[in-house]
């Protein structure tokens, strides 16, 4: 399973990328707003740091303007993935971009039917928002499982990108289901490293080593 970082904060992305565990980055208008920076500059900077796919989302809601925005965004790096909403115009844009072999991430997916339409439109990635479904009392990870089953049934090549990740169990379950990608904010990414027994074991080793009075260097 691939790990994408869901962030527009360049220092955070650089730090995580240095670990060698980051396969790509996802952004959206809300993350750009929180960064306080120019949208095009942020995307260009991220694309220069992370060699993997960088999702840059169009802001228009009509097909012609989406296409014009996409044409601008793809100039920001060779690894740009155009992100479009799961709407009629979004899927029209997806189909057109894919005809030109431009990768597309279809976002804001909340149902199996939507995921089917995105795959039919040739989406490179489908982004189901599991956390937002959970917030509504629905089973977000259940949707990931349903999409996995449906895509496997028909041999769709669209990759399942589990998004709106709220905790580490979302990551665990996505990996067991077979999601192709999980995108999560840096805070969740770092939580994947932690376990109480790891911390306890390190503390015991640290105490015992101190008692030896030795040093390696």
Distance CA 26, CA 43 (A): 10
**Six-digit token string for 88:** 């009629």
**So which residues are the catalytic ones?**
83
Distance CA 16, CA 22 (A): 7
| Phi/psi at 8 (5° precision) | -120, 15
Total Cβ atoms within 10 A of residue 62: 13
| Phi/psi at 20 (5° precision) | 80, 15
Task: Give the 3-state secondary structure of residue 137.
Answer: coil
Distance CA 45, CA 132 (A): 29
């Amino acid at each position: 399973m691939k790990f994408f970082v869901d962030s527009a904060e360049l220092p955070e992305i650089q730090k995580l990328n240095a670990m060698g565990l980051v396969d790509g980055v996802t952004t959206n208008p809300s993350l750009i707003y929180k960064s306080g920076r120019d949208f095009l500059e942020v995307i260009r900077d991220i694309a220069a740091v992370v060699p993997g796919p960088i999702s840059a989302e169009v802001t228009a809601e009509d097909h012609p303007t989406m296409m014009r925005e996409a044409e601008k965004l793809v100039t920001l790096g060779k690894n740009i993935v155009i992100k479009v909403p799961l709407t009629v115009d979004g899927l029209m844009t997806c189909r057109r971009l894919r005809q030109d072999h431009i990768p597309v991430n279809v976002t804001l997916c909340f149902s199996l039917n939507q995921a089917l339409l995105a795959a039919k439109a040739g989406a490179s990635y489908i982004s189901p928002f599991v956390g937002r479904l959970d917030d509504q009392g629905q089973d977000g990870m259940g949707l990931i499982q349903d999409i996995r089953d449906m895509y496997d049934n028909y041999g769709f090549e669209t990759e399942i990108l589990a998004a709106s990740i709220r905790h580490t169990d979302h990551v665990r379950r996505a990996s067991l289901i077979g999601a192709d990608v999980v995108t999560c904010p840096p805070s969740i990414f770092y939580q994947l490293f932690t376990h109480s027994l790891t911390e306890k074991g390190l503390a015991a080793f640290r105490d015992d080593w101190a008692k030896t009075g030795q040093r390696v260097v």
